[in-house]
């Protein structure tokens, strides 16, 4: 792989090497626009910014013939629909992963299998207090995958009520989803299943951002020359 450029609107002009604690490497940070991408001619644009920026950046990349590999969560169904349509229009693929951690992918896979036998389930996700969106993309993706094998249903007492609004969390096809935001946490998620006289918990913990890099490298390598819209790193692992 060859790094051909980088972008950060807050540090335009700074050498990438200096930012990484190295000597200057002769590549300075620039903005994301079609002219720059057509000049640099990258195969892949990797984006971990916020949902608002990543949507604009992905559109710019697609129009420039560059495959965006997106790690930012928070893109809703309408955002993804826009990118899918633009991807098809331009004939350029796009890849989105709610989570690049291989352990998180296995957690979601195990949760989907467990849901076939334990339909009563709740999801609790934990992130640092600087995360903007809630629930996380991983939690939503987990709920989506569980819903593929579990019919929507009402959980808990039919007459339950909340003395404090939001206490029971958000709801996705009857699955309750809870988001915790605290300093000292990076990213964790547990999927709790309940059955007669037993519970089953599937949990994944992330302690370092290095966790994501093997998955990111797989996504970059597999997405080169991509011609379709793909969501989920699990599509590259089978």
Order the strands of the 170-172 sheet from edge to edge: 170-172, 175-181, 120-127, 187-195, 198-206
How big, in percent rounded to 5, are the helix, strand and coil portions of the chain?
Answer: 35, 25, 40
The helix (run of H) or strand (run of E) holding residue 44 is: strand 44-47
Residues in the chain, total: 238
Torsion of CA 110, 116, 120, 123, to 10 degrees: 30
CA atoms of 189 and 139, how far apart (whole Å):
8
CA atoms of 112 and 191, how far apart (whole Å):
10
Residues with active-site annotation: 127, 131
């Amino acid at each position: 792989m060859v790094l051909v450029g980088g972008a950060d609107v807050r540090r335009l002009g700074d050498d990438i090497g200096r930012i990484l604690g190295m000597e200057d490497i002769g590549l300075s940070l620039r903005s994301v626009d079609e002219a720059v991408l057509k000049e640099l001619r990258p195969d892949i644009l990797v984006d971990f910014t916020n949902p608002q920026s990543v949507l604009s950046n992905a559109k710019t990349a697609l129009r420039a013939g560059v495959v965006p590999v997106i790690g930012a969560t928070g893109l809703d169904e309408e955002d993804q629909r826009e990118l899918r349509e633009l991807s098809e229009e331009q004939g350029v693929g796009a890849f989105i992963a709610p989570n690049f951690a291989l352990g998180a992918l296995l957690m979601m896979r195990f949760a989907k299998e467990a849901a076939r036998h334990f339909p009563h389930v709740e999801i609790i996700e934990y992130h640092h207090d600087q995360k903007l969106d809630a629930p996380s993309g991983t939690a939503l993706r987990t709920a989506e995958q569980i819903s593929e094998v579990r019919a929507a249903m009402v959980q808990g007492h039919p007459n339950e009520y909340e003395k404090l609004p939001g206490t029971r969390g958000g709801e996705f096809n009857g699955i309750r989803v809870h988001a915790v935001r605290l300093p000292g946490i990076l990213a964790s998620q547990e999927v709790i299943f309940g059955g007669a006289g037993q519970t089953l918990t599937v949990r994944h913990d992330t302690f370092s951002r290095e966790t994501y890099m093997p998955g990111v490298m797989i996504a970059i390598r597999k997405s080169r020359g991509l011609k379709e819209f793909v969501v989920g790193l699990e599509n590259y692992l089978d």
